[in-house]
């Protein structure tokens, strides 16, 4: 029988990888809590119209990449390709905006049918924030600062912020006319994708990766030449706020985002940790989206980071600096205690002992092999646990457990780093183990 495999672009997260994701998600939750963001969870499956109206039918996401199908009720349904539209839909449906401005965050899988590559799969995962009902230039800088501080705390080195303004819809319409007029004069030089976008979504040509098209665009009209005075003033206020927060930036007049709902501030945060400049976070302001989806005119801004790309960056950072912050986040979980045991009576006592230690808050791995002590100690060393608790038939008969240090981080239990403790009075032993475990966790956190 043929062995079943996962679909192309749908990747399993194995236990070692999952613990890394959990570490990143845990730190992100801490940052969101400090910034007053509350978590929202939306369905994976939405009506297709949500994304067609919200993202834009002319975008590559809607036109080429969505997983859509008719359900048994003959409704067109789509696996969500991004998180913003779903969050806005939920906020409108449940009246959250009637309660005032909302600072929300989300996390989970998204789906796009595109060519799988390193850091980009067909099922991919994002963590993002959406601030609804905030309008000031300061809020733009503040939401960028949240992303910047989180990435820095994760240990991502050599961060760079690129920022642009897309102005108002009127600004973009004026610019679109000027850009299309100019591009039509050079259509024969454009790559095939850009020629197609010229008819559907010409602003996306500015983000072309084709070298010949990028060279051509050096002489194209600039969006800033079509900005109204208020749009220019607002953009300068955002840049001033970033200066006040000491966040360095580069204004990139060619930066556009791939979704139609963006306006005014658009930004990307990149890192060259992987050797080439890679985007780890992107977002911007989308003041028109809520009205587009049936709500009252409401300002909003947000961003998302891709977990797959972020984990690649963190692994590269950990390799470059094994004692750095990123290394502590991507290392595998290790138990506080490894229980070595052999013999029938020893097994019974080890079973009871392991449960008592777990109840005291310790992570315990118990060897179930009944193999020779030498083999069990090799596994104990490989587990990364700082100490082993040893129960053989001799220890079981005497009602003791032997503590053996596997690493020097624990207080020395004796000259040979071994000591017997009564199994009937575990309080003192638990206190020693907890102290050692807390020291280990503190060093990991500080690292």
Residue 409 has pLDDT above 90, yes or no: no
CB atoms within 10 A of CB 342: 20
Indicate if the pLDDT at residue 411 is higher than 50: no
Look at residue 143 in the predicted model and tell me its pLDDT. Answer: 97
Residue 96 has pLDDT above 50, yes or no: yes
Order across the sheet with 278-285: list the strands: 38-39, 102-111, 123-132, 300-306, 278-285, 265-271, 159-165, 250-251
In angstroms, how far is CA 226 from the centroid of its own chain? Answer: 35
pLDDT of residue 263: 87
> What mean pLDDT, rounded, does the chain reach?
89
Could you give the CA distance from residue 155 to residue 328 in angstroms, rounded to a whole number?
A: 9
Residue-level pLDDT at 259: 58
3-class SS at 364? strand
pLDDT digits (tens, 9 = 90+) for 165-186: 999 988 888 988 888 888 888 8
Same fold across 15-168+228-328 and 334-446: no
Euclidean distance between CA atoms 320 and 156, whole angstroms:
11
Give residue 414's pLDDT: 40
Cα distance between residue 356 and residue 425, in whole Å? 11
Tokens of 224: 């800033």
CA distance 427 to 271: 49
* Alpha carbon distance 365, 385 (integer Å): 9
- Predicted confidence at residue 407, as pLDDT, reads 67
pLDDT at residue 412, as a whole number:
41
User: pLDDT category, 1, cuts 50, 70, 90?
Assistant: confident
Confidence of residue 257 (pLDDT cuts 50, 70, 90): low
Q: Which of left, alpha, beta for 271 (phi over 0: left; psi -120 to 50: alpha)?
A: beta
So what's the pLDDT on residue 339? 97
**Residue pLDDT, tens place only, 185-206:** 888 888 888 888 887 778 778 8
State residue 443's pLDDT score: 57
Asked if 93 and 108 count as a contact pair (C-beta separation under 8 A), the reply is: no
C-beta separation of 102 from 133 below 8 A: yes
Q: What is the pLDDT of residues 292-339, one digit of tens each?
A: 899 999 999 999 999 999 999 999 999 888 888 898 888 878 899 999
**Distance, CA of 69 to CA of 428 (rounded, Å):** 62
Answer whether 428's CB lies under 8 Å from 400's CB.
no
> Among all chains, which residue has been given the structure tokens 């310790």?
362
Torsion of CA 62, 66, 71, 77, to 10 degrees: -50
At residue 204, the pLDDT reads: 77
pLDDT the model gives residue 5: 95
Query: What does CATH list as the number for 15-168+228-328?
Result: 3.30.930.10
Which segments within 307-384 are labelled E, that is strand?
337-341, 364-366
Distances (CA, A) of 414 to 139, 316, 391: 58, 40, 18
Q: What's residue 150's pLDDT?
A: 97
Can you list the alpha helix ranges (DSSP code H) found in 111-228? 137-154, 169-184, 192-200, 211-216
Beta carbons of 367 and 338 less than 8 angstroms apart: yes
The share of the chain scoring above pLDDT 90, in percent, equals: 62
pLDDT at 27 over 80: yes
Distance CA 62, CA 85 (A): 13
> Based on the number of CB atoms within 10 Å of its own CB, is 255 exposed (0-12), middle (13-18) or buried (19 or more)?
buried
Cβ-based burial of 292 (10 A; exposed 0-12, middle 13-18, buried ≥19): middle
Note the pLDDT of residue 333. Answer: 82
Q: What superfamily in CATH does domain 334-446 come from?
A: Anticodon-binding domain (3.40.50.800)
DSSP for residue 319? H
Q: Locate 68 and state its tokens.
A: 């859509």
SS3 108: strand
Would the CA dihedral through 187, 263, 242, 224 be positive or negative? positive
What confidence score (pLDDT) does residue 56 get? 67
* C-alpha–C-alpha distance, residues 440 and 234, integer Å: 48
Give percent helix, percent strand, percent coil of the chain, each to the nearest 5. 45, 20, 35
What is the pLDDT, as a whole number, of residue 130? Answer: 98
7-23 pLDDT, tens digit each:
999 999 998 899 899 99
- Output the pLDDT for position 179: 87
Cβ neighbors of 116 (< 8 A, separation 6 or more) are 8, 9, 122
Q: How confident is the model at residue 118 (pLDDT cuts 50, 70, 90)?
A: confident
Q: Which residue has the tokens 């990364």?
A: 384
Domain regions of the chain by residue span: 15-168+228-328, 334-446
> CA 53 to CA 56: how far, in whole Å?
6
Decide if pLDDT at 33 tops 70. Answer: yes
Whether 123 contacts 9, CB under 8 Å: yes
């Amino acid at each position: 029988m043929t062995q079943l495999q996962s679909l192309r672009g749908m990747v399993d997260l194995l236990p070692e990888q999952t613990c890394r994701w959990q570490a990143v998600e845990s730190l992100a939750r801490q940052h969101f809590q400090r910034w007053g963001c509350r978590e929202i969870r939306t369905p994976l499956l939405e009506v297709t119209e949500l994304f067609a109206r919200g993202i834009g039918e002319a975008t590559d996401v809607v036109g080429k990449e969505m997983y859509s199908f008719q359900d048994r009720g003959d409704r067109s349904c789509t696996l969500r390709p991004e998180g913003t539209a779903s969050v806005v839909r939920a906020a409108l449906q449940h009246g959250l905006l009637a309660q005032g401005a909302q600072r929300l965050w989300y996390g989970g899988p998204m789906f796009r049918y595109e060519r799988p590559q390193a850091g980009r799969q067909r099922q991919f995962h994002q963590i993002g924030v959406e601030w609804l009902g905030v309008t000031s230039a300061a809020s733009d800088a503040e939401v960028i600062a949240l992303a910047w501080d989180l990435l820095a705390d994760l240990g991502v080195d050599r961060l760079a912020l690129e920022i642009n303004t897309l102005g108002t819809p009127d600004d973009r319409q004026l610019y679109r006319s000027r850009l299309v007029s100019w591009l039509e004069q050079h259509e024969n030089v454009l790559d095939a994708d850009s020629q197609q976008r010229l008819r559907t979504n010409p602003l996306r040509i500015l983000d072309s990766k084709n070298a010949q098209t990028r060279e051509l665009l050096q002489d194209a009209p600039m969006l800033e030449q079509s900005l109204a005075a208020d749009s220019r003033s607002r953009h300068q206020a955002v840049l001033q706020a970033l200066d006040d927060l000491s966040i360095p930036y580069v204004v990139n007049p060619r930066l556009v985002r791939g979704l139609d709902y963006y306006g005014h501030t658009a930004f990307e945060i990149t890192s060259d940790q992987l050797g080439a400049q890679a985007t780890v976070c992107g977002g911007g302001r989308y003041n028109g989206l809520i009205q587009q989806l049936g709500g009252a005119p409401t300002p909003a801004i947000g961003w998302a980071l891709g977990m797959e790309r972020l984990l690649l960056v963190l692994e590269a950072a950990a390799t470059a600096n094994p004692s750095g912050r990123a290394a502590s986040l991507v290392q595998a979980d290790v138990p506080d205690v490894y229980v070595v045991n052999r013999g029938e009576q020893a097994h019974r006592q080890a079973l009871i002992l392991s449960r008592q230690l777990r109840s005291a808050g310790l992570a315990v791995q118990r060897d179930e092999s009944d193999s020779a002590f030498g083999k069990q100690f090799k596994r104990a060393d490989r587990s990364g646990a700082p100490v082993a608790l040893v129960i053989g038939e001799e220890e079981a008969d005497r009602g003791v457990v032997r503590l053996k240090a596997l690493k020097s981080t624990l207080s020395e239990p004796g000259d040979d780093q071994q000591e017997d403790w009564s199994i009937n009075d575990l309080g003192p032993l638990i206190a020693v183990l907890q102290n050692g475990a807390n020291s280990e966790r503190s060093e990991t956190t500080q690292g």
